[in-house]
Amino acid sequence: MPQKIEPGKFVEVAYDIYDVKADGSEEKIHEVPASDPEKFIFGVTPHMLPSLLDALEGKTDGDCFDVTMTPQEGFGEYNDDFVRIEELPKEIFEVDGKIDPEQIHPEAKIMLQTNMGQPVPATVIEIQDKSVRVAVDFNHPLAGKTVKLVGKVIKVREATAEEIAIQQAQAGGCGCNGGSCGEGCDCSDKGCNCDK
């Protein structure tokens, strides 16, 4: 008899994420394929979207799901306060002592990393003599968007004690995917929609 998704079960899901536009049209913006599914322990793995968990609870191997989430139900509203202007040393953008003007120029969209290695999008504002001014956006990339997740349950099974322990350990920190305060993604400044 197939196992149902409930707290403590190890789950694998594959899904597509669609940006639902104001006119009702949908644009596929991300895919989690069955060949590399998202894996988590239901009710244990931190930072899972409650709307997705509600859509999955009770499902079994092979079941499909389809859930639409407003920004409030999904990734939060876009918040201009989560965008910071930073002045960074010019050297970090240089390759062989030079900045590539095709890659680093005003309005260029780039990816930076927090101290914990988490990627964050940034926009180049200005290149100065010794530094580069950038706007670093700590909003979730899907903040402000209504999204639709359409997918399939790949596997449901009992989670091992070791898997549960690993997931519980990742629930530490202050809510930024296990990160610690002070890395630029913390609860004190609501740097990653931690105020939910």
Do residues 90 and 128 lie in contact, with contact meaning Cβ atoms separated by under 8 Å? yes
Please give the mean pLDDT across all residues of the chain.
Answer: 87
Average pLDDT over residues 163-167: 88
166: CATH:
3.10.50.40
Residues 6+ apart with CB under 8 A from 184: 84, 114, 115, 120, 136, 138, 191
Longest dimension (CA), the chain: 67
Q: Decide if pLDDT at 184 tops 60.
A: no
Looking at the structure, tell me whether residues 13 and 65 fall in a common domain.
Answer: yes
Looking at the structure, tell me whether residues 17 and 94 fall in a common domain.
Answer: no
Phi-psi category of 24—alpha, beta or left, where left has phi over 0 and alpha has psi -120 to 50?
left
Do residues 93 and 73 lie in contact, with contact meaning Cβ atoms separated by under 8 Å? no
Q: Which band of pLDDT confidence, cut at 50, 70 and 90, is reported for residue 170? A: confident
Do residues 127 and 105 lie in contact, with contact meaning Cβ atoms separated by under 8 Å? yes
27 or 112, which is more confident: 27
Instruction: Answer yes or no: is 19 within a domain.
Output: yes
Cα 34 from Cα 93, distance rounded (Å): 36
Give me the domain span that covers residue 84.
Answer: 80-137
Looking at the structure, tell me whether residues 16 and 97 fall in a common domain.
Answer: no
How many structural domains compose the chain? Answer: 2
% pLDDT > 90, the chain: 72
Cα 53 from Cα 73, distance rounded (Å): 12
Q: Which band of pLDDT confidence, cut at 50, 70 and 90, is reported for residue 173? A: very low
Cα 75 from Cα 109, distance rounded (Å): 21
Looking at the structure, tell me whether residues 14 and 72 fall in a common domain.
Answer: yes
- Local structure of residue 5 (DSSP, 8 states): P
Average pLDDT over residues 110-131: 90
Looking at the structure, tell me whether residues 70 and 87 fall in a common domain.
Answer: no
Average pLDDT over residues 101-119: 90
Q: Which band of pLDDT confidence, cut at 50, 70 and 90, is reported for residue 192? A: very low
119: CATH:
2.40.10.330
Average pLDDT over residues 123-141: 92
Q: Decide if pLDDT at 182 tops 70.
A: no
Q: Which band of pLDDT confidence, cut at 50, 70 and 90, is reported for residue 117? A: confident
pTM of the model: 0.71
Give the bridge partners for 150, in sequence order. Answer: 16, 66
Give the pLDDT confidence of 67-101 residue by residue, as tens digits: 999 999 999 999 999 999 999 999 999 999 899 99
Taking CA atoms, 145 is separated from 29, 45, 67, 148, in Å, by 11, 24, 14, 10
Looking at the structure, tell me whether residues 24 and 70 fall in a common domain.
Answer: yes
Q: Decide if pLDDT at 195 tops 60.
A: no
